[in-house]
Amino acid sequence: MNKVMEVSGLTKKFGNFTAVDHISFDVTEGEIFGFLGANGAGKTTAMQMLCGISMPTAGKGTVAGYDIIKQNELIKRNIGYMSQKFSLYEDLKVWENIRLFGGIYGLREKIIAEKTDALLKRLDFEQERNTLVKYLPLGWKQKLAFSVAIFHEPKIVFLDEPTGGVDPAMRRQFWEMIYEAADQGITVFVTTHYMDEAEYCNRVSIMVDGRIDALDSPAALRHQFKAGSMDEVFRQLAREAERGD
Amino acid sequence: MRILKFLIEKEFKQMFRNPLIPKMIVMYPIMVLLVFPWAVSFEIKNIRIDVVDHSKSTYSRRLTDKIAASRYFILNDIPPDYRTAMWNMEQGETDMILEIPTSFDVDLVKNRASAVGMAVNSVNGTQGLLGSNYVTQIVNDFSSELRSELTHTLPAQSRASMMRMPRINIVPQYKFNPALDYKSFMIPGFMVLLLTIICGILPALNIVMEKETGTIHQINVTPVNRIGFILAKLIPFWVVGLVVMIISVSAAYLIYGLWPAGSVVAVLFSAIVFIFSISGLGIIISNYSENMQQASFLVMFFILILILLGGMFTPVSSMPGWAQAIASINPFNYLTKTFRMLYLNGSTLADVSGNLLMLALFSVVLNGWAVVSYKKRG
Ligand SMILES: Nc1ncnc2c1ncn2[C@@H]1O[C@H](COP(=O)(O)OP(=O)(O)O)[C@@H](O)[C@H]1O
Ligand SMILES: [Mg+2]
């Protein structure tokens, strides 16, 4: 299988503090890759280096075939990104946000209009077309943010704790959307600290204090750590952690 | 650039949905044109003046009479020489000295421009600045009076040559604003303030808002480049700034009868050149602020410097050296000067081209800095 992402020795320091500490991994095309870790483990920081908005202190890698150091602007054309903090425009309507980001990624007016109709129908969102985003409930905002992130059909979508603060029913719906995207051939790179969600991923890496301490399929990890669940695997690893809450 | 269209569209939508900005765009010009000029109108009357008349001609006497008759001046003395006048000033008996050169009438007759030398008491800078402006107005007035007299008394064939003359130092101005007052003096300054707020400060705060809400982060992971992002931010404010400027110029005419003695096109053109430089400063402020608190602090700091060291209230010439040095790199100062020249002195675009050149230079430097300091990658 093709690798859509390959990283080795990726490091980010803030002053003396090493937020991400020589991590190496690769991600296969079409895969759902879970990027796990406690709060403060360095997930967001690592993801930002992969998306080309944070300059690595050391290490190298490629994303969607482009060098993360030198070709970061080219990477941006080929990825979608959903930030940990909701960051669509609250004072724009649902359709206006979709249109804006469609336009930013270079889609034509006509395509944007057609795809918007189809998307709203699929999400059963048509009655909210003209709602200002700030009036949507959190779960819907997250769904919209995800839909916007993959609207331009990127090669890879980066999701930073997409289900943070959302109720379990909504989280399941959200994961259904992730599967749909993966079925369309979009590689999914998702961070979470909900361990039950780890089971939904093809492979997961577990980050502790900036390092990747384990990386494999959920089944293989359970076997390796002789654990009944991913939660247990995680607790064994997190025991030595110094950071986090 | 198709992306730009989508971004500008977004900015306009947000601008009109903002709970504050549309109100500010309406309220600011009203405050600035209707309220402030009255509030700060420390109009100066009864400036004591000494006229040193070396010319002792009919013309120079008429000019002196005009000055004495004006409600702004009290003719203190007509001393025989400059030294006596200086002595009077040192004694605190007079505020201002006007020196009329020997060749004043000869120059007028010879149809050549004449220089009226002026010395201004610098103990009270505002008084000196206003006073010399009043004198300039009166001299201008006198000059156009002479011109029409001469044109009427001369046969038609020499009218063509009359068109050039007589000029006293400054191009004769239209008499739209014969009763020069402090308001007319301040309003061009307030227009500069409006442009500074709309095209400099509002975009800066707008960008920092996007940092605070995190939306700029989302834009940074897209292919939008920094120039595109900045341009999309600025263009709507440029448009609004120009609209507000046109409204202000019209309102100043309708309310105060104040119309540029020079060309109104020159006023708008200078405004545009200024807008580019001040938005560059705004972007720089936003680049160095992570949140609204930092941005507000920087905005306060720059606003104070721009205004206080911009010649709006205190004339630059009466400032200490270090302040003059700052004023010489202050865009606010150059546009205030330019607007006053265009409004009150009847200057032409050519007369203010030096100022505009400086503003253009600031635009290049500030915007270059703005683009370089905009970080898309941490
Ligand atoms: N810009 C920054 N400057 C200094 N420290 C930072 C910065 N960004 C993140 N960190 C620190 O790096 C560590 C990892 O943060 P982050 O990547 O956000 O973790 P996670 O996403 O796994 O919760 C944290 O301790 C955080 O405080
Ligand atoms: Mg995080």
Taking ligand 2, which is a single-atom ion, which protein residues have CB atoms under 5 Å away? A 43-44, 84
What phi and psi values does residue A32 have, to the nearest 5 degrees? -105, 110
pLDDT digits (tens, 9 = 90+) for B70-88: 878 889 889 988 888 888 8
Interface of B with A in 159-198 (CB under 8 A): none
- B354 falls in which pLDDT band (50, 70, 90)? very high
B221 min Cα distance to partner chain A (Å): 6
A–B: how many Cβ contacts below 8 A? 75
Closest residue to atom 11 of ligand 1, CA basis: A19
Closest residue to atom 14 of ligand 1, CA basis: A42
Closest residue to atom 8 of ligand 1, CA basis: A45
C-beta separation of B199 from B278 below 8 A: yes
Q: Return d(Cα B118, Cα B100) in angstroms, integer.
A: 8
Which of A49, A76, A94, A134 is best to mutate for the B interface (most B CBs within 10 A)?
A: A76
- B113 falls in which pLDDT band (50, 70, 90)? low
* pLDDT of amino acid B132: 73
A215 C-alpha to center of ligand 2: Å?
A: 19
User: Of A72-81, B81-90, B205-214, which gets the smallest average pLDDT?
Assistant: B81-90
A93 min Cα distance to partner chain B (Å): 10
Whole-number percent of chain B with pLDDT over 90: 41
Q: Which residue has the higher pLDDT, B32 or A160?
A: A160
Q: Under an 8 A CB cutoff, do B223 and A89 touch?
A: no
Asked if residue A18 has its Cβ within 6 Å of ligand 1, the reply is: no
The partner residue sitting opposite A55, judged by closest CB among B6, B221, B377, is B377
User: Of A64-73, A226-235, B236-245, B314-323, which gets the smallest average pLDDT?
Assistant: B314-323
* pLDDT of amino acid B148: 73
Closest residue to atom 27 of ligand 1, CA basis: A40
Question: In the predicted model, what is the mean pLDDT of chain A?
Answer: 93
pLDDT exceeds 50 at position B163: no
Q: Which residue has the higher pLDDT, A174 or B123?
A: A174
C-beta separation of A56 from A10 below 8 A: yes
Pick from A44, A82, A84, A245 the residue to mutate for probing ligand 1's pocket: most ligand atoms within 8 Å of its CB.
Answer: A44
pLDDT digits (tens, 9 = 90+) for A44-54: 999 999 999 99
3-class secondary-structure state, position A144: helix
| ipTM reported for the complex, 2 dp | 0.92
CA neighbor of A34 nearest in space, from A241, A215, A183: A215
Q: For domain A3-87+156-239, give the fold.
A: Rossmann fold (3.40.50)
Q: Under an 8 A CB cutoff, do B215 and A48 touch?
A: no
Say what angle helices B58-69 and B125-153 make with each other, to 10 degrees: 130
pLDDT digits (tens, 9 = 90+) for A186-235: 999 999 888 889 999 999 999 999 999 999 999 999 999 998 898 899 88
Which of B218, B219, B227, B377 is best to mutate for the A interface (most A CBs within 10 A)?
A: B218
Q: Under an 8 A CB cutoff, do A53 and B10 touch?
A: no
Q: Return d(Cα A176, Cα A186) in angstroms, integer.
A: 14
Q: Under an 8 A CB cutoff, do B3 and A104 touch?
A: yes
- B321 falls in which pLDDT band (50, 70, 90)? confident
pLDDT exceeds 80 at position B180: no
* pLDDT of amino acid A135: 96
Closest residue to atom 17 of ligand 1, CA basis: A42
Closest residue to atom 3 of ligand 1, CA basis: A14
Asked if residue A139 has its Cβ within 6 Å of ligand 1, the reply is: no
Q: Return d(Cα A105, Cα A48) in angstroms, integer.
A: 19
CA atoms within 13 A on the CB side of A73: 5
Name the amino acid, one letter, at B91: Q
A47 C-alpha to center of ligand 2: Å?
A: 9
A46 C-alpha to center of ligand 2: Å?
A: 9
Would you call the peptide bond into A154 cis, given omega within 30 degrees of 0 as the criterion?
no
Q: Under an 8 A CB cutoff, do B3 and A106 touch?
A: yes
pLDDT exceeds 90 at position B67: no
**B377 in reach of chain A (CB within 8 A):** yes
Which residues contact residue B268 at a Cβ distance below 8 angstroms, ignoring those fewer than 6 apart?
B242, B245, B246, B249
* pLDDT of amino acid B55: 84
B203 min Cα distance to partner chain A (Å): 17
* pLDDT of amino acid B73: 87
Q: Return d(Cα B224, Cα B217) in angstroms, integer.
A: 11
pLDDT digits (tens, 9 = 90+) for A90-144: 999 999 999 999 999 999 999 999 999 999 999 999 999 999 999 999 999 999 9
Task: Beginning with the edge strand found earlier in the chain, give each strand of the sheet holding A203-208 in spatial order.
Answer: A79-82, A156-160, A187-192, A32-37, A203-208, A211-216
Asked if residue A40 has its Cβ within 6 Å of ligand 1, the reply is: yes
CA neighbor of A128 nearest in space, from A142, A140, A115: A140
Tokens of A111: 């395509």
Q: B-chain residues within 8 Å CB-CB of A104?
A: 3, 6-7, 219, 222-224
Whether the CA torsion B168, B174, B178, B180 is positive or negative: it is negative
State the residue for tokens 């309310």: B255
Number of Cβ atoms within 10 Å of the Cβ of B68 = 14
**A79 in reach of chain B (CB within 8 A):** yes
A63 C-alpha to center of ligand 2: Å?
A: 20
Which ligand 1 atom sits closest to the C-alpha of A37?
22
Q: A-chain residues within 8 Å CB-CB of B221?
A: 51-53, 76, 79, 81, 83
- B181 falls in which pLDDT band (50, 70, 90)? low
The pTM of this model reads: 0.80
User: Of A128-137, B135-144, B162-171, B331-340, which gets the smallest average pLDDT?
Assistant: B162-171
Region B51-75: what's the mean pLDDT?
87
Whether the CA torsion A34, A36, A40, A41 is positive or negative: it is negative
The number of residues making up chain A comes to 245
Highest mean pLDDT among B83-97, B247-261, B278-292: B278-292
